[in-house]
Each structure stands twice: as C-alpha cells, then as structure tokens.
Amino acid sequence: MLDSGAVRAHFPSLQRQENGRPVIYFDNPAGTQVPVETSRGYLWYLENANANEGGLFHTSRTTDRVIAEARAAMADFLDAASPEEIVFGANMTTLAFHLAHGIGRTLQPGDRIVTTRLEHDANVSPWLALCERGIAVDFIDIDTDDMTLDMESAASVIRRGTRLVAAGYASNAFGTINDVRRLGEIAHAAGALFFVDAVHYGPHGPISVRDIGADLLAVSPYKFFGPHLGVLYGRSDVLASIPVDHVRPAGDTPPHSWETGTQSHEALKALLGALSYLESLGEGEDRRTRLRSAMTRIKSHERVLAERLIGGLAAIPGVRIYGISAPGRFGERVPTVSITMTGLMPAEVAARLGERAIYTWNGNHYAVEPMRRLGVPETLRIGLVHYNTPEEIDRFLDALREIVG
C-alpha cells in the first residue's frame, strides 16, 4: 500500500473542512484534486515565463522549453515512442471532435466506425457527427449484468469496411476496465485504426500505447491530478495521415499542425508538476520507469479501496450496485462505483451527502449509451482515487446507511 499520510500531504485541498467536518472527495471521475506541484506550476509559469512561443527572448525561450518538456513527460506517461506524438488541446472532447473531423475527410460513404455501448458521450457524438456524410456508426454491445463489453460480438461488429474502432479504456460510470489490447488486435485484423478514450483510466493505472496497440489515445490531465487540459497521443504516421484543420503558419507537420491556436502554457507547466508528483510515488532509473511503477502501485492500492467500498455497499439493504462487484474480480475494474437506492433519487442522496461534506455525483455522467442500455436514467457515482482512505469509505458508508434508513 502507498503511504496515505505522505500522499495526502501533497494535496492542500484534502485538508479542507466544512462545518468542522473534513471534506471527502469522492467526485474524482469529474476531476481530481491537485498536489502542490500542479498549482505551483501554474504560479511559477505566470510569474516567470509568461509569453507566446517562438520568440527570440528569454521568457519565450523558456515557454518553448516548457512545451517541449511537457511533450516529453507525457510521452513517458503514455509510453509513446516520441514526444512528437503528443498533441495538446483544450480537453478530450474538443480533441475528439477535431480528430473526427479530420478522419471524416479520409472516409467514403459506406465506411464504418465502431464504438461501444459503454462509452462516455465524448467517444460517441464525434463519430455520430460523421453519419451525415454517409459514414455508418456501429456499437459493440454490453452485458448489463456486470457492465462489461460483449467481446464475442466485438469480432462480428468490427468487420470489413470498419475504418476506426473507438473504445474506452475504463468506464467513467461503472468502472469496468476493457480488454483494450484484444480490441486493438481485432481492429487491426480488420484493417481499422484503433482509438482509445483513456480519460477515465488515466488516474488508475499504467498506460502503454505500445503494449495495447493504440494508434490514437486521449487523456485529460485534470482527471489525473493535473490541470484542465486535453492530451492526444497519435502514432507519428497516423497523425501525419489525418488532414486536420489548421492555420497555414502552423505548418503541415504534427504535432504543431494539430494544435489550433495558442496553448495554455501555464497548464503545461502545471502538467509537468502533476507528472513529477506521480513520478515521486514510483521507483526506477528513469522517469518512464518511475511513472509506470507509480501507476502500478496506485492500481494495487486502489484495489483494496474498491474491495472495502463495494463490500460495504453490498451490505446495505436497498442499495443496488451496477457493474463488477464479485469478490475476486476487482482487477477488472477501477474504484468508480454506480449505485441506486430503493425509494430515493440519486440527486436527493447526493445532496444529503453533500450536506455532510461528502462529495459524490448524481446523473448519467454523460454515459448516455450505457445508461440507456441499462434502462436506468441516473445513478449515484462514488469515484475513488489513490488519495482516498479506508476511513473516508467508512464515514461515507455510515452516512449512506443513515440516509437510506
């Protein structure tokens, strides 16, 4: 297990109290809290290096260095072959629409895109937008008993004419980790590109774009202790082959040709802070190894938290858990858990937990397709990350028990 006290000491907001009660942040899937390394990055950049890129003076040169370092650090975080395979943008959704628009130009009517019924809508709507150009969008179905992908159907849905398979790494509503490596193999066997939405998996485990065979992959640093920002990985040849919108001075060479306008340079410095915090949790000779080791440690630490949370929820009468909940299967999920309560709306429970300084989310979590397929309009989502503690889980379970009566 990680040393919880040492971890939490990095995060000033975790010391916050409301009406004398320590705040419990279980709203993490919508954005995590940040360590001092992240917030100091913002301040340092704005006070010392605030400039546009490419100028022949000190602060601009520093800015160029920040951008280059951020690309290199993200290449290490994602195990990419080169920093030039890292594209920065406003957030994942904006990057996904940008990607879809570019890919759309290379497709013909009748071509197919395959996504899944387990996705956040940011990995659905950008592809549906291409339907008006005659592109078909098909879905890999899910098993609603445990909210996992129906891998049997994957091979038949991903058939000839499929040009892109777009799948999530982990579900932001139900916590399921998908077998992305297998999906990549099936996509490639059909001659399709493989795009992975790794936004929800980002804070929970190590990502290697090469191990899983991702041609393209997106993450959002604000979900893994960093700034509000989106990051797209694209294999060099893949980025070069997609004609995206850009201004002429940006040139035709990725990653610059993919980045529209001026970036948030202060966020890139903050991203470096977040990654150096994560690196400090790992071991190894170089940054890439330390990041991988840190994320592997986080993954095992979180498994223990998931067991305690799900075990506790299962013992409360009137609480229904969606997704993987069988003991022994916690390796197939992250600690993001959706529940409903007999006779109480998720919004009511979230509000009453909020009054007790316990933050959770109610709603569909933008997971439109899975909620529709499940036939449940709203859930209460409890989303843990490595800085949460067993004591917080127990306080939450006590509060929930009291609310559901």
Ligand X SMILES: Cc1ncc(COP(=O)(O)O)c(C=O)c1O
CA–CA dist 99, 163 (Å, integer): 13
Name which of 92 and 207 has its Cβ closer to ligand X. 92
Query: Smallest distance from the beta carbon of 296 to ligand X, in angstroms?
Result: 21
Name which of 37 and 197 has its Cβ closer to ligand X. 197
What is the number of alpha carbons within 13 Å of residue 197 lying toward its C-beta?
29
Name which of 91 and 293 has its Cβ closer to ligand X. 91
CA–CA dist 325, 148 (Å, integer): 12
CA–CA dist 2, 343 (Å, integer): 38
* CA torsion through residues 297, 209, 182, 100, sign: positive
Query: Where does this chain bind ligand X (CB under 6 A)?
Result: 29, 91-93, 120, 122-123, 168, 172, 197, 199-200, 220, 230
Query: Smallest distance from the beta carbon of 366 to ligand X, in angstroms?
Result: 6
Name which of 67 and 367 has its Cβ closer to ligand X. 367
Q: Answer for the pair 276, 291: CB distance below 8 angstroms, yes or no.
A: no
Distances (CA, A) of 217 to 49, 80, 96, 199, 254: 30, 10, 10, 9, 15
Neighbours of 166 (CB within 10 A): 28
Q: 317-320 long-range CB contacts below 8 Å, 24 or more apart?
A: 317/404, 318/342, 318/343, 318/404, 319/400, 319/404
Name which of 91 and 241 has its Cβ closer to ligand X. 91
Query: Smallest distance from the beta carbon of 124 to ligand X, in angstroms?
Result: 10
Query: Smallest distance from the beta carbon of 284 to ligand X, in angstroms?
Result: 28
Query: Smallest distance from the beta carbon of 282 to ligand X, in angstroms?
Result: 24
Name which of 38 and 172 has its Cβ closer to ligand X. 172
Query: Smallest distance from the beta carbon of 199 to ligand X, in angstroms?
Result: 4
CA–CA dist 219, 203 (Å, integer): 10
Q: Answer for the pair 158, 114: CB distance below 8 angstroms, yes or no.
A: yes
Name which of 49 and 173 has its Cβ closer to ligand X. 173
Helical residues (DSSP H) of 250-367, grouped into ranges: 265-279, 287-314, 346-355
Query: Smallest distance from the beta carbon of 141 to ligand X, in angstroms?
Result: 18
